[in-house]
């Protein structure tokens, strides 16, 4: 509700920041409560996609769509993706093949931080005519930036004696 009101009151840059910080805080404080329900919330993905398409037809070009509804659908998709990753990693853990899941989980926060600017932020890769190419390139560039950020943090921690 705060994000919806902020969409019309504060500049869009701060509104987007408010949504990002808010979703991070929600995930940090409340995501553990959703873990028992992760398999049940997989229905959010098709709901988010259909909601996004319908809203694009009706509200495209408005602040409501550009700053609130797209962000809301993005959060639904992210929650579904987190639930899917958690569910799959549980399967790996149960089968004692969790090496991949553990390796990937060490980079998820960095990926979260760098993917948005690459996909739709100031350094966005734009391939409007080919969404598969756009998605692939965005994923590859985000992966490279994620690895670089992870290595930089490790280096800084080593220099500061925290590792």
Residues 6+ apart with CB under 8 A from 153: 110
41 in the same domain as 59:
yes
- Which alpha helices (DSSP H) does 11-69 contain, by range? 12-34, 44-59, 63
Q: Are 81 and 68 in contact (CB under 8 A)?
A: no
Does residue 48 belong to any structural domain of this protein? yes
Q: Are residues 67 and 2 in the same domain?
A: yes
Based on the fold, state whether residues 86 and 141 are members of the same structural domain: no
Token pair 């549980």 is found at 90
The number of beta carbons lying within 10 Å of the beta carbon of residue 44 is: 19
Q: Pick from 67, 96, 125: which residue ends a domain? A: 96
d(CA 99, CA 104) in angstroms, rounded, equals 9
Residue 1 and residue 71 in one domain: yes
- Judge whether 38 lies within some domain: yes
Same domain, 82 and 138: no
Mark whether 10 and 82 lie in a shared domain: yes
User: Would residue 101 count as lying in a domain?
Assistant: no
Collapsed DSSP state (helix, strand, coil) of residue 19: helix
Which has the minimum average pLDDT: 13-17, 56-60, 130-134? 13-17
b or e along 102-129 (b: 16 or more beta carbons within 10 Å of the residue's beta carbon)?
eeeeeeeebbbebbeebbeeeeebeeee
* Distance between CA atoms of residues 130 and 61, nearest Å: 21
Residues 8 and 34 in one domain: yes
Question: Same domain, yes or no, for 49 and 67?
Answer: yes
Do 112 and 90 have their domain in common?
no
Domain check: are 20 and 91 in the same one?
yes
Tokens of 132: 């598969």
Supply 133's token pair: 């190419």
pLDDT by residue (tens digit) across 105-150?
677 777 877 777 777 766 666 666 677 777 788 888 888 988 988 8
Mean pLDDT of the chain: 76
- Domain membership of residue 142 as a residue range: 106-163
Domain boundary at 96, 115, 149, which?
96
Instruction: Quick: pLDDT tens for 23-41.
Output: 766 766 777 777 777 777 7
Pick the last residue of a domain from 77, 96, 115. 96
84: Cβ contacts below 8 Å, ≥ 6 apart: 42
* 91 shares its domain with 112: no
Pairwise pLDDT comparison (62 vs 7), residue with the higher score: 62
Q: Are residues 81 and 21 in the same domain?
A: yes
Give the other-Cβ count within 10 Å of 6's Cβ: 20
How many structural domains comprise the chain?
2
| Tens-place pLDDT, residues 76-104 | 887 787 777 777 777 766 665 556 666 77
Phi, psi of 43, rounded to the nearest 5 degrees: -70, -15
């Amino acid at each position: 509700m705060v994000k919806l009101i902020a969409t019309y009151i504060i500049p869009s840059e701060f509104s987007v920041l408010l949504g990002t910080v808010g979703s991070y805080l929600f995930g940090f404080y409340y995501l553990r409560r959703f873990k028992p329900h992760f398999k049940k919330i997989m229905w959010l993905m098709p709901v988010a996609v259909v909601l996004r398409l319908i809203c694009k037809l009706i509200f495209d070009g408005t602040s409501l769509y550009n700053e609130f509804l797209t962000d809301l659908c993005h959060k639904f998709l992210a929650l579904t993706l987190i639930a899917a990753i958690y569910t799959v990693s549980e399967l790996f853990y149960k089968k004692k093949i969790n090496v991949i899941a553990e390796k990937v989980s060490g980079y998820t926060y960095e990926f979260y931080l760098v993917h948005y600017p690459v996909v739709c932020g100031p350094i966005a890769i734009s391939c409007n005519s080919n969404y598969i190419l756009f998605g692939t390139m965005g994923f590859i560039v985000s992966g490279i930036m994620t690895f670089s950020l992870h290595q930089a943090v490790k280096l800084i921690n080593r220099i500061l004696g925290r590792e």
